Structure 1
Amino acid sequence: MPTPETSNEDPYMLGRNYYASARLAMLHLLIHAQFGYLLHPSIKLPSAEKTEEQLRIADVGTGTGIWIGELTRERPQAQIDGFDISDEQYPPEKWYGPNVSMSQLDIFKPLPEVLKGKYDVVHLRFFMTVASDDNVQVVVNNLKGMLKPGGYLQWVERDWMSKFPEKAERSDDAHTQITCYHRTFFPKTRWINSLPVLFQQCGLEVLDHVTQTPLPIYRKPWNEDCLIGWAAIGDMIESQEEKNWYKELLAEAAENAKKGWYVDWELVICIAKNAV
């Protein structure tokens, strides 16, 4: 079965144009609305006033940098560095002030020496389309490597795939058929439910592991955010016959969502501390 083509250097399959950036903005706002914080309350940092040693925070897989932009309002004196394998969605750095930098980093490769032991907090979210059961521990190890002793790691994820069967029948609903089709090229994501174990395996102390289903008032925008991402995947399908099949299912899924269909999946937040 043909699958969407992606760059060897950039495994992200949901696009990096302005539609994709708008989708990520909505995604961020939904998470913030659901939880009410940018940094989990178990992350104990000095007060927002300037301290003797500048607080350093990293956002890995920063995308559009919107999380950083919001955090600068809470932590205006902190040095906040954004990293992503692609810089295509970065905003102008001057919009975020002098204490923000954005650069490129492949977190799946060996960690540059300059980043080791540098950060009080490392934040990452939504790697479900790029991290697999086979390589996710590499990511966790690199994130830990970025932390100062006593530094915090915050990982935000969504557990979507586990709510569906491994294979779909043609008689199944459109969401199930599309999700199972995605399994043919998305990485295996059993690791999402094992984040605490993965953290502990590299010596991190797990402080909290939160799972929440989206509140009913946010089901509609979550559905729509998902459908926008799926449309981006559909645009990348090479086979015209397969593309037509996919778009018909996508239209059906959109109609079902309008009628109240939704997936009872979970948002996952795992917080850990580098006790070394």
Structure 2
Amino acid sequence: MTREDEYVLGRGITDSVRLEAQHLLWKLHKGYELHPQIPITDNMKIAEVGTGTAVWIFDVARQLPSSVQLHGFDISNSQYPPKELWPKNVSLGLLDSLSDPPMSLAGQYDMVHLRMWASNLRDSDTSSLIRHVKCLLKPGGYIQWEDADLVHQHVQGDKAQEFEQRINGIFQRVGLDYSWVSDLPNRLRQNSFCIIESESGHFELNLVQLCTNTYLLALREILQGIKRILDHDLLLSITEQEVALYQLSSQNTDGFIYNWSPVSLLARRED
């Protein structure tokens, strides 16, 4: 099985729409796409790893001078828009961000963006990804990272809380350990990054429903992905949770909340 096949989330049309709804969620939560403390210079180069549909790249391209180069990378190009729709200063390519990048990309970027890697890493191992990003950056380059803390969640409602307990048990059995997200600032410091800003917390009330809706869609993708690529001994348990998730989703007007906690940081490569 290739690394591309191990991706636990989906890449279909509805999965792409879910990604783009999450982009809206982050945009409304943070109030920006590119952190305002990142200096914009002529001919600077920006990369995004795990770009997905490239919605962040396309949004940022609208706001920056055309001399800025934006490069999106992913292990699969199946969610990329058709090439004729790309802005002239945008390129999208294939890259395994859990392996060392080619030498032609080493030290090329002023800034690298990452978002929502929580379900892409097994057993809490961030070392390969952080090493990859550090290699892409110029000395003094910036990393902007937004992710989902699925450990410190905001879950409200009896059925939602029961579902959370059961699905967390499945996550543990298949090696989906989300504890690293809250530890991300420390892990970056250990790799010679200076933390400029680190924030965690919860969504404002006007964004709680958007997070709940997109999270339930993502959980459906994750359960389907686990069935597709992981331990078949769990098939019955996963199917039971898919039924429970469907029942939970059909009651989304009953006032329940199912939110992960947003974690965001800005850091700079020191060496």
TM-score bracket, normalised by the shorter chain, equals 0.7 to 0.9
In the alignment, is the contact (CA less than 8 A) between 1:10 and 1:85 conserved in 2? no
In the alignment, is the contact (CA less than 8 A) between 1:42 and 1:208 conserved in 2? no
Q: 2-side partners of 1:81 and 1:149: how far apart?
A: 18
Q: Which amino acid aligns with 1:195?
A: L
Q: 1-side partners of 2:253 and 2:30: how far apart?
A: 25
Gaps in structure 1 of 5+ consecutive residues: 1-5, 165-169
In the alignment, is the contact (CA less than 8 A) between 1:129 and 1:186 conserved in 2? no
In the alignment, is the contact (CA less than 8 A) between 2:123 and 2:175 conserved in 1? no
- Does structure 1 residue 219 correspond to structure 2 residue 208? yes
The alpha carbon displacement at 1:256 in A equals 5.0
1:232/1:263 CA distance change after superposition, 3 Å: closer
In the alignment, is the contact (CA less than 8 A) between 1:42 and 1:207 conserved in 2? no
Q: TM-score, normalised by structure 1?
A: 0.86
The alpha carbon displacement at 1:193 in A equals 1.2
Which position in structure 2 is the counterpart of 1:147? 137
Which position in structure 2 is the counterpart of 1:125? 115
Which position in structure 2 is the counterpart of 1:34? 29
In the alignment, is the contact (CA less than 8 A) between 1:93 and 1:100 conserved in 2? no
Which position in structure 2 is the counterpart of 1:207? 196
In the alignment, is the contact (CA less than 8 A) between 1:132 and 1:191 conserved in 2? no
Q: 2-side partners of 1:228 and 1:45: how far apart?
A: 35
CA-to-partner distance for each residue in 1:125-152, whole Å, 9 max, x for gaps?
1111112455302211211111112210
SS of match in other structure, 1:180: helix
The alpha carbon displacement at 1:218 in A equals 1.4
2:187 to 198, 202, 206: 198
Q: Which amino acid aligns with 1:99?
A: N
RMSD of the alignment, in Å? 2.3
1:117/1:180 CA distance change after superposition, 3 Å: same
CA-to-partner distance for each residue in 1:198-223, whole Å, 9 max, x for gaps?
11111111101011311111111211
Q: 1-side partners of 2:173 and 2:252: how far apart?
A: 24
Q: Which amino acid aligns with 2:172?
A: R
Which position in structure 2 is the counterpart of 1:167? none
Which position in structure 2 is the counterpart of 1:262? 257
1:92 to 66, 75, 82: 82
User: Which segment drifts farther, 177-186 or 210-219?
Assistant: 177-186
Q: 2-side partners of 1:35 and 1:162: how far apart?
A: 19
The alpha carbon displacement at 1:93 in A equals 2.8
Q: Which amino acid aligns with 1:267?
A: P
Q: How does 1:45-60 map to 2 (within 5 A)?
A: 45-46=40-41, 51=42, 54-60=43-49
In the alignment, is the contact (CA less than 8 A) between 2:211 and 2:259 conserved in 1? no
Q: 2-side partners of 1:250 and 1:192: how far apart?
A: 24
Which position in structure 2 is the counterpart of 1:43? 38
In the alignment, is the contact (CA less than 8 A) between 2:160 and 2:258 conserved in 1? no
Which position in structure 2 is the counterpart of 1:112? 102
1:55/1:261 CA distance change after superposition, 3 Å: same
The alpha carbon displacement at 1:161 in A equals 2.7
Q: 2-side partners of 1:213 and 1:154: how far apart?
A: 19
User: Which segment drifts farther, 184-193 or 97-106?
Assistant: 184-193
Q: 2-side partners of 1:180 and 1:240: how far apart?
A: 14
The alpha carbon displacement at 1:99 in A equals 1.1
1:79/1:173 CA distance change after superposition, 3 Å: same
Gaps in structure 2 of 5+ consecutive residues: none
In the alignment, is the contact (CA less than 8 A) between 2:163 and 2:241 conserved in 1? no
Which position in structure 1 is the counterpart of 2:243? 248
CA-to-partner distance for each residue in 1:232-265, whole Å, 9 max, x for gaps?
2344536774454123211232245431221454
The alpha carbon displacement at 1:227 in A equals 1.4
Q: Which amino acid aligns with 1:191?
A: W
SS of match in other structure, 1:106: coil
Q: 1-side partners of 2:132 and 2:91: how far apart?
A: 19
User: Which segment drifts farther, 108-117 or 176-185?
Assistant: 176-185
Q: What's the % identity of the aligned pairs?
A: 29
SS of match in other structure, 1:260: coil
In the alignment, is the contact (CA less than 8 A) between 2:124 and 2:179 conserved in 1? no
